[in-house]
Amino acid sequence: MLKKSNPSAAESTASLKRALLTIFRNHPTRNFNYKQVSKLLAQNEPVLFAKYLFIDDRDSNRKILVTLLSELVLSGELFEVDPGRYKTVPVKEYVEGTIDIIATGVAYVMNENFEDDIIISPNHTLNALSGDIVKVLLSATRKGGRQEGRVVEIVKRSKTDFAGILQVSDKFAFLVPSGNKNTIDIFIPINKLNGGANGEKAIARITEWPEGTKNPIGEIIEVLGVAGDNNTEMNAILVEYGFPIRFPEKVEKEAEAIPFEIPNSEIKKRRDMRGVTTFTIDPVDAKDFDDALSVAKIDATMWEIGIHIADVSYFLKPGMDMDDEAVERGTSVYLVDRVIPMLPEKLSNNVCSLRPNEDKLCYSAIFKIDNDAVVHEEWFGRTIIHSDKRFAYEDAQEVIETKKGPLVDEILLLDGLAKKLRAARFKMGAITFEKVEIKFQLDSKGNPLGVYTKENKDSNKLIEEFMLLANRKVAEFIGRHHASYKKDSKKESGKKAPVFVYRIHDSPVPEKLQKFSLFAERFGYRINIKTDKEVAQSLNQLMKAVKGKKEQNVLEQLAIRTMSKAVYTTENIGHYGLAFDFYTHFTSPIRRYPDVLVHRLLDHYMKGGKSVDQKDYEAMCQHATDMEIKASEAERASIKYKQVQYLQDKKGQVFDGLISGVTEWGFYVELIESKCEGLIRLRDIGNDFYELDETNYCIIGHRSGKVFRLGDEVKVEIKNTDLSRKQIDFLLHGFDEGFVSRKPEKYSGGNERPKRKKDSGGGGKRRR
């Protein structure tokens, strides 16, 4: 029953329904009865209420509202939670993202619209595998303040080929994938084994995944060999991270057809640098020399310094099978004992490689630089060079230290200029992270005999500075000289920036910096986080102060984690870590595809070409970033495998270590001498209940108050090593439970223990 004055029943009903739905949708987690709805309607829509309802006739209003609420239930816009109580039906919201499934089965989906990853419980992952792009239906509920959801569609598989160990019986077989993230075994029909035997490592390709079944069905496409064999395991790592172990036959044939000889017609088009002193400095075992330096004296105060980069784009053209393969790979992959090149060996190690005493085609950046390392003129273009000598880093370092040896004047000059360029970068706010590089002494079969760390010396830094100079100047040439440029809210004149490939690095998240600053204080280091420049200066002082100390690697790794990740993009925001407004990758086209794109674009724009399509290049940038991450993960996996292999015969030995990571299920310890890392599980510590305090990077005993903090020094012994999973389990050595039966100690960041969280079903949070 509506008021007689209503214009029409249909109009009044529609207006009231809209108002009711607004009330429910403004309170999506609450349910209301008709009285509460009536009260909210009178408060929120007084004019509407007075027009269509009765201020004093509650019985009539009840009939009207209950009727409307029932109709909204029938139309599917509300549901009746309990008799007479109603709630809005959640609006279905879908997002897409990349899924990451941890060993417990809990998954996390990364989407740029959410600060934290979306949590997916094990029974809501559909048949997704780590790395897949998935469509997620968001849930109205949240776990620990974080968004939950469930996978409703696999948008794109990250890969269909998996390496693992075969388990073969009389009637069927399974391939158990390598790594912790691929938790689903692949069913292999006996007639699809391709000669594979029980216990061997092989590559399986998923051919189908029937709806409602737990395991996908696949076929063996290649048998890698006996598990534990070095070559087998390294190839398995490549497949695990989505890299091919060989080039397709058509790509190899295309490469073989490329001639070594340089046509005279091409030489005439180029700036001839063959008469200028030129040399390369690379790792001792390198074969792909993609950069060379040249030195020519102009006068007593001025030098012509050439940075010559292999002209890969001369040989590699869009549309070639080699180019398609290079795009897909994105980068060369560096494992502990081998390089898996982006380009076939004929190009990477022969035709393009700037080998000594051979004429080579280059794309060069040539600068006139004074004795103070100030650049006065620049030139970019195609050249032909002739390298006079090939130095290993150790050879060049000996020249720097002894001031004797071949090309001593040129090397000492470049070393001095590099140090001035470096000092200028730091003055502008650049940050240095001299990450510890782990190396292995291997026997003829690839077994690790020892572990050591490699230090970057002046010869490494010499090359680094001149490569940075070339990368920066190329990016500036396109981004500043060919475009409008905005800095500090002052816009310079010029035309719109053409689309280009930049290497960017965003500034760190303030919250992460704050946490790291508090942690560093425990070791007596102060981080000033007021401005970006002060942050950079503080971090540089920290890196210098910790060098050679036991806490060096922990603090360096944690400092790196506070930083944003560098990526490729067409949208330039500058490079925070290097303190450059413009930066790109120009200097390694043999091993990085973005550098090939930069060479092509630079040449295109220098010839007056129009701006290219941004959407196409942004997609290539994203793919290159993704492949760079996968290559880095593959390298770490190969290092981890060798670390496990190195420690597997050392069970019972005691080692000094530092706590390098904390999780809800335990804490990681890095051995001080070898940098090998393993896990101490909380269940192996004692009969206390331990809980993660992620804010303060520590784990706290509930009864005892014992605190294990990130950076604490502990003694450990090896409990177990698992080569197939690349895992090391440690036990605390000499830990006495009676020692902790005292009052809880205070810990950095507060005096109260955090409240115990509800069990999250075994998922927990990912490692911090």
| Same-fold call for 9-88 versus 161-227 | no
Confidence of residue 750 (pLDDT cuts 50, 70, 90): very low
Predicted confidence at residue 746, as pLDDT, reads 36
**Residue 38: what pLDDT?**
86
Residues 84-105, mean pLDDT to the nearest whole number = 83
| Alpha carbon distance 167, 173 (integer Å) | 6
CA distance 500 to 618: 9
- Name the pLDDT band for 213 (thresholds 50, 70, 90): confident
**What pLDDT, on the 0 to 100 scale, is given for residue 141?**
58
At 350 the pLDDT is: 96
Contacts for 21-29: CB closer than 8 Å, 24+ residues apart: 21/72, 21/77, 21/78, 21/88, 24/78, 24/86, 24/87, 24/88, 25/88, 25/91, 27/88, 28/88, 28/90, 28/140, 29/140
Q: 648-740 falls under which CATH superfamily?
A: Nucleic acid-binding proteins (2.40.50.140)
> 584 is written with which tokens?
């790109």
Position with higher pLDDT, 572 vs 494:
572
The CATH fold assigned to 161-227 is OB fold (Dihydrolipoamide Acetyltransferase, E2P) (2.40.50)
pLDDT value of residue 361: 98
State residue 53's pLDDT score: 75
Q: Which two tokens stand for residue 425?
A: 């970068």
pLDDT confidence of residue 117: 86
The pLDDT, as a whole number, for residue 399 is 98
State how far the Cα of 203 lies from the Cα of 579, in Å rounded to an integer. Answer: 45
pLDDT, position 270: 97
Shortest CA distance to 659 belongs to which of 582, 517, 558?
558
Q: Is the pLDDT of residue 754 over 70?
A: no
Is residue 237 within 8 A of residue 637, CB to CB? The reply is: yes
Q: How far is CA 48 from CA 38, 56, 137, 345, in A?
A: 12, 15, 36, 78
pLDDT at residue 4 is higher than 50: no
Over 80: is that where the pLDDT of 693 sits? yes
The predicted structure's pLDDT at residue 702: 85
Inter-residue contact 323 to 597 (CB < 8 Å): no
Distance CA 532, CA 92 (A): 41
Band of residue 310 on the pLDDT scale cut at 50, 70, 90: very high
Evaluate whether 166 touches 193 at the Cβ level (below 8 Å).
yes
Question: Could you give the maximum distance between any two Cα atoms of the chain, in Å?
Answer: 107
Segment of 69-78, 577-586, 758-767 carrying the highest mean pLDDT: 577-586
- Beta-bridged to residue 189, according to DSSP, are 172
Q: Does the pTM exceed 0.85?
A: no
Q: How confident is the model at residue 640 (pLDDT cuts 50, 70, 90)?
A: very high
Give residue-wise pLDDT tens across range 15-49. Answer: 888 888 888 878 877 888 888 888 888 888 887 77
Given a cut of 50, is residue 660 above it in pLDDT? yes
Confidence at residue 455, expressed as pLDDT on a 0 to 100 scale: 82
Task: Quote the pLDDT of residue 519.
Answer: 81
CA–CA gap between residue 536 and residue 431 (Å, rounded): 5
Q: What integer best gives the mean pLDDT of the chain?
A: 87
The predicted model gives 613-617 an average pLDDT of: 95
CA pair distance 660, 681, nearest whole angstrom: 14
At 663-690, the pLDDT tens digits run: 888 999 999 888 899 999 988 887 788 8
3-class SS string, 350-406: HHCCCCCCCEEEEEEEEEEEECCCCEEEEEEEEEEEECCEEEEHHHHHHHHHHCCCC
pLDDT of residue 144: 60
How many other C-beta atoms are found inside a 10 Å radius of the C-beta of residue 443? 9
More confident: 53 or 180 = 53
Q: What's the pLDDT score for residue 43?
A: 85
Check: CB of residue 348 under 8 Å from CB of residue 284.
no
Contact residues for 235 (Cβ-Cβ < 8 A; gap 6+): 163, 224, 245
pLDDT at residue 753 in the model: 29
Q: What is the pLDDT of residue 424?
A: 95
CB-side exposure of 226: number of CA atoms within 13 Å? 3
CB-based contact 320:600 (threshold 8 Å): no
Per-residue pLDDT, 145: 63
The string of pLDDT tens digits covering residues 571-582 is: 999 999 999 999
CATH fold of 9-88: Arc Repressor Mutant, subunit A (1.10.10)
Return the number of other C-beta atoms located less than 10 Å from residue 154's C-beta. Answer: 17
Q: What is the pLDDT of residue 274?
A: 97
- Tell which wins on pLDDT, 490 or 467: 467
State pLDDT tens for residues 221-276: 999 999 989 999 999 999 999 999 999 999 999 999 999 999 999 999 999 999 99
Collapsing DSSP to helix, strand or coil, 501 comes out as coil
Domain boundaries, given as residue ranges, for the chain: 9-88, 94-156, 161-227, 483-638, 648-740
Tell which residue, 564, 558, 430, 572, has the closest CA to residue 507: 564
Summarize pLDDT for 352-374 with one digit per residue, the tens: 999 999 999 999 999 999 999 99
Q: What is the pLDDT of residue 142?
A: 60
Instruction: Give me 28's structure tokens.
Output: 């999506």
Multiple choice CATH, 94-156, 3.40.50.720, 2.40.50.180, 2.40.50.140, 3.40.50.150 = 2.40.50.140
305, 292, 276: which is closest to 370 by C-alpha? 305
Crossing angle (nearest 10°) for helices 58-74 and 34-44 = 100
557-592 burial: b if 16+ Cβ within 10 Å, else e: bbbeebbeebbbbbebebbbbbbbbbbbbbbbbbbb
Distance separating alpha carbons of residues 669 and 659, to the nearest angstrom: 4
What is the reported pLDDT for 740? 37
Q: Which amino acid is at 34?
A: Y
Both tokens assigned to 434: 């001299």
Burial 17-53, CB ≥16 within 10 A → b, else e? bebbeebbeeeeeebbbbeebbebbeeebeebbebbb
| % of the chain exceeding 70 in pLDDT | 90
Q: What percent of the chain has pLDDT over 90?
A: 56
pLDDT of 767: 34
**Does the structure show a pLDDT above 60 at 51?**
yes
Query: By C-alpha distance, which of 217, 202, 207, 242 is closest to 98?
Result: 242
What's the confidence (pLDDT) of residue 162? 93
Per-residue pLDDT at 550: 72
2/310: higher pLDDT: 310
Q: Is the pLDDT of residue 747 over 60?
A: no
The pLDDT, as a whole number, for residue 736 is 57
Taking CB atoms within 8 Å and a gap of at least 24, the contacts of 262-270 are: 262/359, 262/361, 262/384, 266/314, 266/361, 267/384, 269/382, 270/361, 270/381, 270/382, 270/383, 270/384
Residue 83 to residue 76: CA distance in whole angstroms: 16
Backbone angles phi, psi at 586, to 5 degrees: -120, -20
Give the relative orientation of helices 552-562 and 532-546 as an angle to the nearest 10 degrees.
Answer: 160
For the four alpha carbons of 185, 189, 194 and 199, in that order, the dihedral sign comes to: positive
Query: Nearest Cα to 32, choosing from 71, 77, 72, 88?
Result: 88
Tokens of 350: 């022969």
Q: What local confidence, expressed as pLDDT, does residue 56 receive?
A: 66
515-558 pLDDT, tens per residue? 888 888 878 888 888 787 788 888 888 888 888 777 777 788 78
Please say whether the beta carbons of 701 and 689 come within 8 A.
yes
